[in-house]
Amino acid sequence: MRLRPIAIAALSATLLQACTAGPDFVRPAAPAADRYTSAPQIEKTIASEVPGGEAQHFSSGSKLDAKWWRAFGAPELDALVDEALKANPTVNAADAALRAALENVRAQQGMFWPSISADLNASRNKTAPVLSPALNSSVNPYSLHTAQLQISYPLDVFGGTRRQVESLRAQAEVQRFQLEAARVSLANNVVAAVVQLAALRDQLSALRDVGRLQAEQLEIVRKQFRLGEVAEANVIAQAGALAQTQAQLPALEKQLAQQNDALIALLGKLPGEQATSQFTLAVLHLPQELPMTLPSQLVEQRPDVRAAEAALHAANAQIGVAVAARLPQLTLSASTGSSATHFGDLLTAGTGFWGVAADLAQPIFQGGTLLHRQRAAEANAEQAAAQYRGAVVAAFQNVADTLLALQYDAEGLRASVEAERATRQTFEIARKQLELGDVSPLAVVIAEQAYKQALIARIQAQAARYADTAALFQALGGGWWSENTLAGQQQSDDAKR
């Protein structure tokens, strides 16, 4: 069999690679912004004697570590994040989606090669007498055995297949960046859950300490009442303050248990399968050196923005697919084989046959289907472009909000520390004065309430600073690009080749 026409056509197709239908994709330019907020970034310093109150400094253009959570200096936290990244169902699902997308790319790349199939057919036949004999031997009925090799090669003259591969590659990139986004989000969620657990545990501890003080104070007031030094109303007021504190404990314990279950779920486990460590805020260390990505680099580092860009690329390539569908389609085919009345004679002389064909098809009238599909692809590309711009705006807003949150967190924690210190001193003075009979128990109750509220507010402000620090690492992209955190990156590169 001679397949020279197919070889010639393949060479022609290679020479026509530049003839690819549809617009070529051009990456959107990075925003020209030089800052994230309207106000200049300034360093904030708060009381260093309070854990979590250290000054934080922004380092412009510094490297963001892919394992940024290690900056909190808690090995147990590092272990939890690593465990979650391996076992979380959402991340595992995103990883499987990426592998499926890469396989789709490879499957479509198979269209660049000729399709070859083999067929073996055996039949028993009887021809009606009114027809000419089916065989030269005029044997009727007869057996017929046919072995055939078929080759079909649709030439990608106008690049429809190339555009389809391009679109699938871009869709694989979408899945890749969605996986990276899922990993970064998961790490932040684990850190935030640990911070919340630590804050709730510290609040419980603080409330129990306040409750013990209130119980001691109640005994003092009761003794004073028995001696006739104070009225019964003071005893009732002190007992009410203690009861109010005790009533807050179950609600906090419920939140602590539910937050613990939420953290275990992030690890991909059931609530009864694992107990988390007894984190407190004292175990965590506030990162003092914070990276600050240049605004022009943010679109390169945010996985959600990169995913939106890849989706735009895929939609742009689909325009070419739709345009190519309206152009002539050229397919070359060839077949060779053998037919014989006995299976053993298939390879004997005189039984062979072959054929070579070329098919050129041009859509003429499809009821407007192909035209409207092209217009739909163009509209989808416009939609993807708008969604990309929205992702960029949201990314800059996210960073700006986080920077402002850190600034106000520092100011809020400093005020909370000062309020806690002042109310604690007021409470201690009031207790001493009560023992000396200089103030009424009601004054001590008021001081107790103020101290308790200030104590809880300080813990919450401290936790907010930790959580917003973690949120900054996520807002800046999570550092996934600084090391090969994704095995699928190599797979993606292989698919492109």
DSSP 63: P
> pTM for the full model?
0.83
Q: What is the third-level CATH fold of 19-113+156-326+366-496? A: Outer membrane efflux proteins (OEP) (1.20.1600)
What is the pLDDT at residue 276? 67
Written as tens digits, the pLDDT of the chain (497 aa) is 444 444 544 444 454 445 788 899 999 988 888 788 776 554 333 334 455 567 788 887 778 889 999 999 999 999 999 999 999 999 999 999 999 999 999 999 999 999 999 999 998 888 887 777 777 777 878 888 899 999 999 998 898 999 999 999 999 999 999 999 999 999 999 999 999 999 999 999 888 888 888 888 888 888 878 888 778 888 898 898 889 888 989 999 999 989 999 999 999 988 877 666 788 888 899 888 888 888 888 999 999 999 999 999 999 999 999 999 999 999 999 999 898 888 888 888 888 888 999 888 899 988 899 999 999 999 999 999 999 999 999 999 999 899 888 888 888 888 888 898 999 899 889 888 877 778 777 787 788 888 888 989 999 999 999 999 999 999 999 988 876 544 445 444 544 54
| The residue type at 12 | S
Task: Report d(CA 384, CA 378) in Å as an integer.
Answer: 10
DSSP states of 91-131: HHHHHHHHHHHHHHHHHHHGGGS-EEEEEEEEEEE---TTS
Structure tokens at 145: 């055995």
Name the CATH superfamily for 117-153+328-361: Outer membrane efflux proteins (OEP) (2.20.200.10)
Alpha-carbon distance values, 81 to 69, 264, 428 (Å): 8, 11, 42
What is the pLDDT at residue 103? 95
Please list the residues that pair with 49 across neighbouring strands.
none
Task: Report d(CA 395, CA 302) in Å as an integer.
Answer: 7
Q: Judging by beta carbons within 10 Å of its beta carbon (0-12, 13-18, 19+), is residue 235 exposed, middle or buried?
A: middle
CA-based nearest residue to 304, from 392, 384, 192: 392
What is the pLDDT at residue 378? 94
Task: Report d(CA 355, CA 334) in Å as an integer.
Answer: 6
Task: Report d(CA 488, CA 122) in Å as an integer.
Answer: 47
Peptide bond into 141 cis (omega under 30): yes
Task: Report d(CA 72, CA 91) in Å as an integer.
Answer: 23
Q: Is the dihedral of CA 372, 373, 374, 380 positive or negative?
A: positive
Domain boundaries, the chain: 19-113+156-326+366-496, 117-153+328-361
**CB atoms inside a 10 Å sphere around CB 97:** 17
> Helix, strand, or coil here: 195?
helix
On the CB side of 212, CA atoms within 13 Å amount to 5
